Amino acid sequence: MALYSERGYAQTTVAEIAERAGLTERTFFRYFADKREVLFWGAGALADLLVETVAAAPEGVAPIDAVAAALDAAGELLAERREGARGRAAIIAENTELQERELIKLASLAAALAATLRERGVREPAASLAAETGIAVFKIAFERWIDEANQQDLSRLIEDSFDELRAVTAER
């Protein structure tokens, strides 16, 4: 990722990334489908953490609380990585294809969360609504977190966004 920041994403080749990482190109492609995927390397681990946390929530916990617990776990996982997250966001912001990939990853996270809630017996549309609004909360909190002007923790911003969401929806 450092290479993308130094030279620009479009100008960096897989050969250069592999060299910097001390890998052959062949080994690179064993781990990543393409150079875009380098930026989404942690997405699988994040998805697993979210799904496992929702699946492990005590029986009877409200769907939105199970989702909030999962996002809180994600907040802790990411807590020490603010600088990296900022660099990554700056690269993504300059490339439409990467923005698309990011949207797809977020949509997959929401779909995985909704499926896990359904396995816990949550009916539709409640499962999808809890999952989609949870991901919306996460996305908005994450954008505030990587804003240079912001000093708050990601977990705190997620909690704030949930409070704000409840206030926003209660108005209707």
By beta-carbon proximity to a second copy, the closer residue of 91 and 136 is 136
Helices 63-78 and 126-145 cross at an angle (nearest 10°) of: 30
Site string for a second copy, 99-138 (x = CB under 8 A): xx--xx--x----------------xxx-xxx-xx--xx-
Interior/surface letters 113-133, b for 16+ CB within 10 angstroms, e for the rest: bbebbbeeebeeeebbebbbb
Give me the residue label for tokens 């699946």: 55
Least distance to a second copy, CB of residue 66, Å: 10
Distance of CA 130 to the CA centre of its chain: 16
Closest listed residue to residue 97, CA positions, set 165, 37, 143, 23: 37
171 binds a second copy (CB under 8 A): yes
149 binds a second copy (CB under 8 A): no
Hey, what are 117's tokens? 């809630």
By beta-carbon proximity to a second copy, the closer residue of 19 and 128 is 128
93 binds a second copy (CB under 8 A): no
Q: Which residues bind a second copy (CB under 8 A)?
A: 62-65, 68, 99-100, 103-104, 107, 124-126, 128-130, 132-133, 136-137, 139-141, 144, 160-162, 164-172
